A and B are shown apart, each in its own frame.
Chain A
Amino acid sequence: MTNEHHSADLSAEDLRSALTRRSFLRTAAMTGLAAASATGVPGALYAQGASTMTWAKPLETTMLDPHTAILGSSWQMLHLVYDSLIDVDEELNPIPAIAESWEQESPTSYLFTIRSGVKFSNGADLTIADVVGSLKRVQDPATGSWWVRPMGMIDDVVAVGDNQVRVTLQEPHTPLIAALAATMCSILPMSLVESGELDVSKDMLGSGPYKIVSHEQDDNWVLERNPHYYQQGLPKIDRIVVKIVPSDNTRIAQLRDGSIDIASFEASPDAGLLLRGVANVEVNVEDVTNYYILGLNAVAEDSPFKDIKLRQAVALTLDRELIANIALGGGGQPTAVMAPAHKACDTSKLPLFGQDLDRARQLLAESGNEDLSFELLVRNIPADIQMAQVIAQGVAKIGLTANIAVVDEGIWVQRAWIDNPSKFEAMITWYAGYADPAISTLWWNPGVAGFTAGHVENNDDINAAIDAAYQTGGEARGAVLQNLCAKIDESANVIPLVTRQDTIAYRSDKLKAKLAHLEGYVHTLRNVETFELM
């Protein structure tokens, strides 16, 4: 006999009567009580009567000390709180900030006139001593700032009278002014820092348009306008609530239903596409100087890419237009080491820029690496993975196989930048391009950069060309930059691919925002002080 045969058959009516209302209500009441006892996040994010803009961004701010901050996700917030001597305009040209003017006295000496009446958000005056102390702190080895070399080797920083500061360099350094516009050169309240009253790795206190009110880790920041901000009548919005929302889809949903005013999408290939046609949402795709790179390990003994001919063969398989169109959804421009916005490098004159499969096959044959398989290391980021796939298809055309290995941020950092020699054969990442075309070229000098020593070959020609690009100013600089661009291209060691564009979208029915169309410092909310809520 089967179970079916033995089993009784009860109707739904029987069942309904068996489940009494009392037992249901008892369970419901207990659950409700438990839920009611649970508390939520403390503190109201939205102050009554204050105009509040809500910005959703994907990544948390992890480094608060502006002088040592390395990640763009931190700069985004630091820019709201701190000011530097210099800022940049729409075309990345230097403009006055805390310094109302400056003068190059000689190839190695600059005199900055400090704006009067600038105050920190606690009401204290920003003094000459704060400026001198801040610049010296960046240079102090004890600070551990990575911005020392991009800023230039400073011989001395001294106060001149009550409102001027003289910066003397050890050697001419053309990118100085652009470097001073970075958040790594923020002006800190040095008396508080030196006395230990302010630990800038824990708290933020600057002279920028906003000050920090509260922070819930990995969830939100609340900022309030700095009442002492030096620009009269600015900022126009009282409060900014910054929400950390990791999912692109969630930020898009929030924009769609209007629960946030503005959202940033870091290198998200699909964001622009997904936001197209969403009512009242304005999408701004920033032209940037940041760029993706394909790194080939020319240092590790077991790396096949110690062979320059193999590296050059790989470089010649790259179709940058295809990478931009397929992997990045049409975002990004093909670039050499100096992004197109810098107008410093003519890529048509570069020896390895552009796909040339015949030459690639020839170089591959000369290197004797036909049918080679190699690992292409990428982080678990959609854009990086998609680029890796396009690159893998490209090298396959000359018989090479790229095996894509996707790892988390920590593993990637360890293998790419910490281990020496680096534990990868090929990898993808990106560099910030800043406001001067020479600044990021420093990473091609492994002795200076440090973090590239495990995979970038030390090349005296390139090092000399970098030095020349840093030291040469005026009209002669154009040729020097083009020469550097060509040498880096020819080395095919770390190969620039396409620019890394950021997408920022906002509710045009709620917010009047003048966003930057060109950016080099990951200042996502540049001009935020002029934003207005409608």
Chain B
Amino acid sequence: MTQLLKFIAFRVGSALLTLIGVSIFIFLAIHMLPGSFEDVLAPRGPEELRQQIAEKFGLNQPLPIQYAKWLGSVATGDLGISLITQDPIVDSFASRVPVTIELALLATFTSAVIGIPLGLWSGLAHRRAGVSGIARVLGSFIMSVPDFVIASVFLFVFSRYSLGLTVGQWVPFQEDFGGHIRSIILPAVTLSAVGIGLFITTTRNAVIGILSKDYIMAALARGEEPREIVQGHVLRNISNPLVTTLSIYLGYLIGGAIIVEYVYSVPGMGRFLVQGLLNRDYPIVQATVLVIACAVVFINMTADIAYGLIDPRLRKG
């Protein structure tokens, strides 16, 4: 137990250090980009106007002071204001974070529900060339088609033909549940494509590897039923690679969400970040990246802890 607690404490400490590192990095990166907020906002304006804007938002102060002030605010839960609207960023997050989380969860669910069974099926029947080949080709194909290509095809097909699902018309959950479902399915399916391929490939390879183990032969020799072998040995032993895949996929979702939200006009965090970056709206970029970093670090930390719980040998490391 003490070993487990130490393991968890170490992982939490690492996560906090990572977040501080990320906050410094993103702060410096965004401020060192050529073209400051006032330049992008008033590119042809008189110098006095740009100075006024910089002064109003404290952008003319030394970077360490700006960073310290920002970090101090973040520590109290204040993510700052958008330099453009001058509204609190936390208000925008309140509507955008749930959208991206919902999209990510649906995409993950779709990926897992389709990808894991297909991978299992393909792995278990891997000596049957037809079945195995179909799943392998399907997995590779899905992974090799970029999100924006899938999205563009969907955009055309679903705007050209009335197939029940909508494109580019985000409907909030509380306004119209049916409309909401119709507006989120295509973005979620687009985002899940890579995940499906990833889960098929990972599960298939893991299953093939497990089936070659001596204990499977021993189980067969003992006369165990196939169902018992799958439940007792295969499913249990593919957990680790699946947790790894899941954490990798969740990290990918953040980047994928940017493209999918852009193409489908979904008002989530991805679009918010891109616009913030283009406008050099520093607080938006800093806050969004920090929130995303928190999510990624949390996912990885949870995965690490899950490994430790699943496999006690890893706690020693």
Contacts and interface: CB of A to CB of B under 8 A. Distances in A.
Interface stretch (A254-262, A287-295, A364-372): A254-262
Contact of B262 (A15, A27, A246): A246
B204 interface: no
Contacts of B10: none
Contacts of A12: 121, 124-125, 131
Contact of B155 (A220, A249, A412, A415): A249
A410 B216 contact: no
Contacts of A4: 127, 212
Contacts of B15: none
B237 interface: no
Interface string A180-214: 00000000000000000000011000000000000
Contacts of A410: 33-36, 39-40, 278, 280
A441 to B, nearest CB: 15
A31 B109 contact: yes
Contacts of B127: 4, 7, 9
Q: How large is the interface on B (under 10, 10 to 19, 20 to 34, 35 or more residues)?
A: 35 or more
Contacts of B120: 15, 19
Interface string B91-135: 010110011011001100100110001001100111110010000
Given A8-B229, A9-B125, A14-B227, A254 B159 contact: yes
A400 interface: no
Interface stretch (A33-41, A93-101, A307-315): A33-41
B160 A70 contact: no
Interface in A404-441: 408-415, 417-418
A141 B105 CA distance: 53
Nearest to B52: A144
Q: Which of A7, A12, A27, A141 has the most CB of B within 10 A?
A: A7
Given A249-B155, A259-B168, A27 B109 contact: yes
Contacts of B216: 6-8
Contact of A250 (B98, B264, B267): B264
A485 B33 CA distance: 38
Given A254-B159, A413-B40, A8 B217 contact: yes
A355 interface: no
Contacts of A92: none
A407 to B, nearest CB: 8
A439 to B, nearest CB: 13
Interface in A457-485: none
A218 B92 CA distance: 10
Contact of A215 (B36, B85, B117, B121): B85
A70 B279 contact: no
A70 B105 contact: no
B274 to A, nearest CB: 8
Interface string A1-18: 001101111111011011
Interface stretch (B43-51, B64-72, B139-147, B291-299): B43-51
B39 A253 contact: no
A152 to B, nearest CB: 16
B106 to A, nearest CB: 6
B16 interface: no
Contact of A42 (B86, B95, B152): B95
Contacts of B155: 249-250, 253
A68 B45 contact: yes
Contacts of A24: 113
B211 interface: yes
A215 B213 CA distance: 60
Nearest to B157: A253
A165 B152 CA distance: 55
B242 interface: no
Contact of B46 (A9, A144, A251, A409): A144
A450 interface: yes
A108 B214 CA distance: 100
Contacts of A36: 173
Contact of B42 (A15, A28, A70): A70
B255 to A, nearest CB: 17
A217 interface: yes
Contact of A14 (B169, B213, B226): B226
A413 B220 CA distance: 70
Given A11-B124, A19-B117, A245 B168 contact: yes
B174 interface: yes
Interface in B212-264: 212-214, 216-217, 220, 226-227, 229-231, 234-235, 262-264
Q: Which of B131, B171, B226, B235 has the most CB of A within 10 A?
A: B226
Contact of B168 (A60, A253, A415, A417): A253
B82 interface: yes
B174 A39 contact: yes
Interface in A376-400: none
A412 B35 contact: yes
Contact of B126 (A7, A35, A409, A415): A7
A142 to B, nearest CB: 8
Contacts of A245: 168, 265
B230 A7 contact: no
A220 to B, nearest CB: 8
B169 A11 contact: no
A256 B159 CA distance: 6
B305 interface: no
Q: Which 9 A-B pairs have the closest CB atoms?
A: A40-B172, A410-B35, A144-B49, A253-B159, A3-B212, A38-B102, A18-B230, A38-B98, A14-B226
Interface of B: 33-36, 39-49, 52, 82, 84-87, 92, 94-95, 98-99, 101-102, 105-106, 109, 112-113, 117, 120-121, 124-128, 131, 152, 155-156, 158-160, 162, 166-175, 180, 208-209, 211-214, 216-217, 220, 226-227, 229-231, 234-235, 262-265, 267, 271-272, 275, 278-280
Given A7-B127, A410-B33, 7 more contacts: A8-B217, A8-B220, A31-B105, A60-B84, A141-B48, A250-B167, A413-B35
Interface of A: 3-4, 6-12, 14-15, 17-19, 24, 27-28, 31, 34-42, 44, 60, 62-63, 68, 70, 141, 144-146, 201-202, 215-220, 243-247, 249-254, 256-257, 259, 408-415, 417-418, 449-451
9 contacts: A6-B214, A28-B113, A38-B102, A42-B95, A62-B41, A218-B271, A417-B44, A450-B44, A451-B44
